[in-house]
A = this chain, B = another copy of it.
Amino acid sequence: MMDVFFIERDPYAPIRHCYPVSKILYEGKSEYQEIMVIESPHFGKVLVLDGVAQCDERFEFIYHEFISHVPLFAHPNPEDVLIIGGGDGGALREVLKHKEVKRAVLVDIDKQVIEVSKKFFPTMAVAFEDPRVIVLNEDGYKYVQDYEQEFDVIIVDSTDPVGFAHVLTTEEFFKYVYRALKDDGIYVGQTESIHYHADIVRRVQKSLRKVFPIVDLYTAVIPGYAGYWWTFSIASKKHPVREPSRDVNIQTKLYSADMHRHAFLPESFYQKILSGEY
């Protein structure tokens, strides 16, 4: 079957990733999106939503370590964590490595993504049964509006901010996030790539700056995401974010205190991205 390929259908990427496919393990459609699981040599199983690869067994740790540990280690004591999206369970697994975490609420609108992940990605969807976890299949945009001073860290691990995930990158949403965070809370969200989606990066950074006093951008190179030089927009009410505030006392593959610092771009280049000069 080495001549069978899955070709991504990502209207926002100028290039398509073409994965060799050894098996098609699942094809379904939830209320919100098409869900597919394929197996690809070198990558292992790949979760595909609406024709776009979301994560693969081999490299999912990169995205999940960086979306989780940068905000959680920037925070001195992250007890209450909210994950919006993240139904694959990868970010949840990383969040729960922090013994400080007393409660992790995962709000993913699409129950079927969680079910598929539990079935096909047991090393990723490994933490759903942890007693600290609360899973809700609700609209994260609405959920966050009901809370005030509730969370230490809010992670938005959504699909691309186009289509139904777009509202999760608006200024209005960030105001709700700000309110739902405690006085020293930290927000993070994935904001696409530097090279293919600079307009999205700039738009989100601009909106965050209207709401939060500390806003920054960090990166990780994600093999499976067209654009590769992936950005995470981080916003903080009080704590600086470019350094871990605690010892990195957990097991990781790529994240470390050094890589935390290195994930942030030099200020001069960051400013060029913000201004549109790059």
Interface residues of chain A, those whose CB is within 8 Å of chain B, are 5, 7-8, 14-20, 40-43, 59, 194-196, 221, 223-224, 227-229, 253-254, 256, 258-259, 261-262, 265-269, 278
Contacts and interface: CB of A to CB of B under 8 A. Distances in A.
A262 B258 contact: no
Contact of A278 (B41, B196, B254): B254
Candidate in A14, A43, A228, A265 with the most chain B CB atoms within 10 angstroms? A228
Number of chain copies forming the complex: 2
Nearest to A196: B223
Contacts of A256: 266, 268-269
A15 B19 contact: yes
A267 B278 contact: no
Candidate in A14, A227, A278 with the most chain B CB atoms within 10 angstroms? A14
Nearest to A225: B228
Contacts of A40: 14
Nearest to A268: B258
Given A14-B43, A223-B227, 9 more contacts: A16-B17, A16-B18, A42-B196, A253-B278, A256-B269, A258-B266, A259-B269, A262-B265, A262-B269
Nearest to A8: B18
Contacts of A7: 5, 18
Contacts of A258: 266-269
Candidate in A42, A195, A278 with the most chain B CB atoms within 10 angstroms? A195
A272 to B, nearest CB: 9
Contacts of A228: 221, 223, 228-229
A50 to B, nearest CB: 17
A274 to B, nearest CB: 15
A23 to B, nearest CB: 16
A15 B262 contact: no
A55 to B, nearest CB: 14
Nearest to A17: B15
A59 B262 CA distance: 23
A6 to B, nearest CB: 10
Nearest to A228: B228
A262 B218 CA distance: 13
A216 to B, nearest CB: 15
